[in-house]
A and B are shown apart, each in its own frame.
Chain A
Amino acid sequence: SQQGEEDPQALSIQEGENATMNCSYKTSINNLQWYRQNSGRGLVHLILIRSNEREKHSGRLRVTLDTSKKSSSLLITASRAADTASYFCATATRGSSNYKLTFGKGTLLTVNP
C-alpha cells in the first residue's frame, strides 16, 4: 500500500523561484527520505530526516518533518532548469524482519528557464 502522498502532483515554476512539495503519511516511521527521479531513470537519494528531527538542510534543499501531523515538506530554493524531475518522499519502517521503504506518488516539478 502507498504510504506517502505528495502534494501537489505537478508543479511548474520559473528558474530562480522556490519550489515546495509536501508529503503526508499514515503510520509511524523510522525516517523519511526524499528522492529525485529523472524521466525513465532510477532514483537518486536527496536527503533523509529521522523521526526525532524536525528540520534538515542540504545545499539548496530544506526538509521539515512534523510527526504529529504525519507530514513532511521539501523546499528547493533558487530553482534551476536542471531541477526538473519527479520528486518522491519515502517512509522507512522496520517490520519484524525487514526494513522497508514505501514511496509516495511523487510530484513532477518543471522549472522553466
Chain B
Amino acid sequence: GAVVSQHPSRVICKSGTSVKIECRSLDFQATTMFWYRQFPKQSLMLMATSNEGSKATYEQGVEKDKFLINHASLTLSTLTVTSAHPEDSSFYICSARDFQGREKLFFGSGTQLSVL
C-alpha cells in the first residue's frame, strides 16, 4: 500500500527557534498533501492544503507566515513552524492524496512538537 513517511517523529525545541517537518510519499506521487494539527484527545484540525508547485491554501485562522508550507515536488512537502512558542506545541500530521486522486488519504505517523 501507499506509504507516507513523516520526519521527525518527535522534536523538542526552544522558544523562538524554527522547526521543519518533512512529509514524503514513498511509493506514489502525491499531487496534494494536507497538514493537520491535533491536540491531546481531540480531533484533527486541517491547517492547510498544499498542491505540488503552487502556494498552499490555508484554513481560516491559520497564520501562513508562521506555518510555512512548501510542496516543491510530487513526493515531498514540508511544514516549517517559524519562531515557535509553547502554544505551538502539538501533534502535527501530514497526509497525502495520490496522483490518481483517490479519495482516501494516506497519513504520516505524526510529529510531536514540544516547545520549551
Contact = CB atoms under 8 A, between A and B. Distances in A.
Nearest to B44: A103
Given A45-B106, A48-B104, A101-B105, A40 B112 contact: yes
A67 interface: no
Interface in A11-56: 30-31, 33, 35, 40-45, 48
B41 A108 contact: yes
Given A43-B95, A97-B57, A100-B49, A2 B105 contact: no
A40 B43 contact: no
A1 B43 CA distance: 11
B104 A45 contact: yes
B6 interface: yes
Interface residues of B, number: 27
Interface residues of A, number: 25
A104 B46 CA distance: 11
B31 to A, nearest CB: 10
B39 to A, nearest CB: 11
A102 interface: yes
B97 to A, nearest CB: 7
Nearest to B112: A40
A105 interface: yes
B42 interface: yes
A42 to B, nearest CB: 4
Interface of B: 4, 6, 32, 34, 36, 41-46, 49, 57, 91, 93, 95, 97, 101, 103-110, 112
